[in-house]
Amino acid sequence: MSELTNSVFLQAANSFCFDRTHRRSKLPQKTKPFRPFAKHTPDSGPLRGQSRKHSGFTGWIFCPILLCSSKKRLHRQASTCGRKALADYFQCLLLDCDGVLWQGDQNIDGSALAVQALKQAGKQLVLVTNSSTKSRASLAARATNVLGIDVGVEEVVTSGAVVAAEAVAQKVKTAYVVGSQGLKEELQLAGIQVLDPDVPEPFDENLFRLLTTIPTPEAVIVGHDESFSFSKLATASLFLQRGGEACLFFGTNPDVGNRDKSGYLIPEAGAILAAIEAASGRSAVITGKPSTILINQLLQQRGLTKQQVMMVGDRLDTDIAFGNNGGISTCLVLTGVSSRTQVDAAHDALRPQHVCNSLHDIVFG
């Protein structure tokens, strides 16, 4: 560099420097100093209007190109810092499991990270599932295994646990159960005797008539049962017909199917329940989602108001209807059964207040 060029460069540089008292020489009065190495955080000066103490450094060289770039970067950071995610507005999130946290044995992308962030933020989480195949302890263990995050039994509510609590409230002492071992465990833990008559398999009319000698239970309780058979259908129907109104009829949930990875629905408890209702001529009392029985139990047990709680689910007919029926906020995620097209066509009782692509989007925006 020639001496002339060097001299011109130094004069230009010095004319745009700050002195020790922060007075500007030829810099326009409305232009703020650019500090390329200042770390901008939500609590630091430039984003909150705070002043910085002078470090004693002589000054910065003013660069219009870098200043423009910095202003854009600061604007983006300020926008991000001022934005709240949907989860930030609630103290407690009720999370459905299948279709929200996992599908099958695989967690849904971002769900584990979202759950971890919610826990670290001090949010109350309740895994609310209409599945009755597992007890709360078994489901908590599964959630811990699939998500890789510790989930306690107290953070889990199953439709089996809810129907057990409701049966106890109705003073039920004995019940015939169409369901899995997990449902039977919850009922037994609640002090209800589960009847297990020796029903002939395959169905035989002559042997079936022997069931008429068995005392009618105080309730028939129906959940998901992968060993459901015609013999079980006939037995449940017999008890309900013979017992009349004295034999209470409970269904854990109305879900007719769960979405498989193939895209097709696998029959669920609702399909079994519909068959027993048709065979007996009786209508079941639903205790799981979308019944308000569950939301009332949760609010009372946890000391929460409706305004502090949001339901997150993947089904309009159970998850969203449940939240709407209970008067809490609702959010549908598009990682399970219901689609955005179905949301657009849904009537008010099934329409969510919010729709997000996934749980991750609810937590991180």
Q: Which domains are assigned to the chain?
A: 3-82 (no CATH), 86-130+290-364 (3.40.50.1000), 160-286 (3.40.50.1000)
What is the rounded distance in angstroms from the CA atom of residue 37 to the CA atom of residue 22?
A: 17
Query: Please, what is the Cα angle at 336 between 351 and 352, to 5 degrees?
Result: 15
Q: Is the per-residue pLDDT at 166 higher than 90?
A: yes
- pLDDT grade, residue 353 (50/70/90)? very high
Q: Is the per-residue pLDDT at 277 higher than 50?
A: yes
Please give, one letter per residue, the 3-state secondary structure of the chain: CCHHHHHHHHHHHHHCCECCCCCECCCCCCCCCCCCCCCCCCCCHHHHCCCCCCCCCCCCCCCHHHHHHHHHHHHHHHHHHHCCCHHHHCCEEEECCECCCEECCEECCCHHHHHHHHHHCCCEEEEEECCCCCCHHHHHHHHHHHHCCCCCHHHEEEHHHHHHHHHHHCCCCEEEEECCHHHHHHHHHCCCEEECCCCCCCCCHHHHHHHHHCCCCCEEEECCCCCCCHHHHHHHHHHHHHHHHHCEEEECCCCCEEECCCCCEEECHHHHHHHHHHHHCCCCEECCCCCHHHHHHHHHHHCCCHHHEEEEECCHHHHHHHHHHHCCEEEEECCCCCCHHHHHHCCHHHCCCEEECCHHHHHHC
Interval 222-241: pLDDT, tens: 999 999 999 999 999 999 99
User: Which one of 88, 96, 150, 348 is the catalytic residue?
Assistant: 96
- pLDDT grade, residue 296 (50/70/90)? confident
96 is catalytic: yes
Query: Which of 60-64, 72-76, 147-151, 197-201 has the highest mean predicted lDDT (pLDDT)?
Result: 147-151
What is the rounded distance in angstroms from the CA atom of residue 241 to the CA atom of residue 265?
A: 31
User: Which one of 88, 98, 105, 348 is the catalytic residue?
Assistant: 98
Q: Is the per-residue pLDDT at 329 higher than 90?
A: yes
Interval 44-78: pLDDT, tens: 333 333 433 333 434 434 433 333 333 333 233 22
What is the rounded distance in angstroms from the CA atom of residue 210 to the CA atom of residue 213?
A: 6
pTM above 0.85, yes or no: no
As a whole number, mean pLDDT of residues 187-205 equals 88
